[in-house]
Amino acid sequence: MVKIAFNSALAQKALGKEVPAAEKDPELASAPVGIEGSTGRCLLTLLGIAFILSGLIVGGACLYRYFTPKRMYHGAMQFSDVSSGGESQPYYLPQVEEEVEISDSMAVISVPPPRFRAGDPAYILHDFNRKLTAYLDLTLRTCFVIPLNTSVVLPPQDLIDLFSQLMSGSYRSYLVHEDLVVTERIDDIKPLGFYIRRLCEGKDTYRMQRRSSLPGGGIQKRSTDECFTIHHFENKFVTETRICKA
Ligand SMILES: *[C@@H]1O[C@H](CO)[C@@H](O)[C@H](O)[C@H]1NC(C)=O
């Protein structure tokens, strides 16, 4: 049906120009072959269109699945470290700044290198569906994976609310220490899901545990050369994550 309309339009155009189009145009020339031939071609064309459309729909759904609407936020939090003798910082409170991308299924936090203290720049990814967190240390170019701690990481909507509040001014908070230990190397990162795979592809990747959950836990080794820290927040307090290669 589409084809017929198209052909008549062509014919009209040809008439206007007074060109014997029927002899030049193979489409028009073959038109008198019969109704069966043209319905066949019409069906084929429709099939082709249906095929292309279904491809577009499936492709679009896949793209949507992985690139769901996500929003970028920026926030800063000042914090006081009570454990290092609280009142000793009267003039200046350290501050953590973050860029965060939040969607329904994950949050990626970009931590820039801190300006006045030790700490590594990093990407931190929380996969809310797989319940996993990955730290990509940008200095070491190494990934560290641990189960998502839902009592530290706010769910997506609460994170959005928090960052919306932070837009209108900086926030004073406190520091929570988190002590993690590298346990084993992960050779196959596929089971960690699409997002972590995308983040950690081509980097050394390790599994971690909380130090307190290790057998005989709590005993802290004092070799600082194998440790590094990342300051970040995904709640109303700042977390200092210390990662040690045991
Ligand atoms: C989550 O983090 C809190 C605060 O750091 C800690 O007390 C708790 O043990 C953690 N939970 C898990 C399952 O690791």
pLDDT per residue as tens digits for the range 130-168: 999 999 999 899 999 999 999 999 999 999 999 999 988
Q: Of 214 and 218, which is predicted with more confidence?
A: 214
Is the beta carbon of 151 within 6 A of some atom in ligand 1?
A: yes
Mean pLDDT of 214-233: 73
Q: Which atom of ligand 1 is nearest to the CA of 149?
A: 1
Pocket test for ligand 1, best of 133, 146, 148, 149 (most atoms within 8 A of CB): 149
Identity of the amino acid at 102:
I
Which DSSP letter does residue 155 get? P
**Residue 242: per-residue pLDDT:** 93
Mean pLDDT of 207-232: 77
Cα atoms in the 13 Å half-sphere on the side-chain side of 128: 17
Kindly report the pTM of this predicted structure: 0.70
CA-CA distance, 138 to 122, in Å (whole number)?
Answer: 5
CA-CA distance, 208 to 134, in Å (whole number)?
Answer: 10
Alpha helices in 97-209 (DSSP H): 156-167, 194-200
Kindly provide the b/e burial profile for residues 145-156, where b requires at least 16 CB atoms within 10 angstroms of the residue's own CB: bbebeeebbbeb
Residues ≥6 apart with Cβ < 8 Å to 174: 79, 80, 81, 82, 237, 238
Are the C-beta atoms of residues 181 and 223 closer than 8 Å to each other?
no
CA-CA distance, 230 to 246, in Å (whole number)?
Answer: 17
**Residue 225: per-residue pLDDT:** 56
Long-range contacts of 162-169 (CB under 8 A, 24+ apart): 162/75, 162/235, 162/236, 163/73, 163/74, 163/75, 163/100, 163/102, 164/73, 166/73, 166/74, 166/75, 166/76, 166/77, 167/73, 167/74, 167/75
Q: How far is the CA of 149 from the centre of ligand 1 (A)?
A: 6
Is the beta carbon of 168 within 6 A of some atom in ligand 1?
A: no
Is the beta carbon of 70 within 6 A of some atom in ligand 1?
A: no
pLDDT at position 211 over 70: yes
Closest Cα to residue 196, out of 137, 122, 145?
A: 145
Sheet strands (E) in 103-226:
106-111, 122-127, 132-137, 142-147, 171-185, 204-210
pLDDT at position 92 over 80: no
What residue owns the CA closest to ligand 1's atom 13? 149
Q: Which atom of ligand 1 is nearest to the CA of 152?
A: 2
Q: What is the dihedral of CA 157, 163, 165, 171, to 10 degrees?
A: 130
Q: Of 130 and 84, which is predicted with more confidence?
A: 130
**Residue 29: per-residue pLDDT:** 47
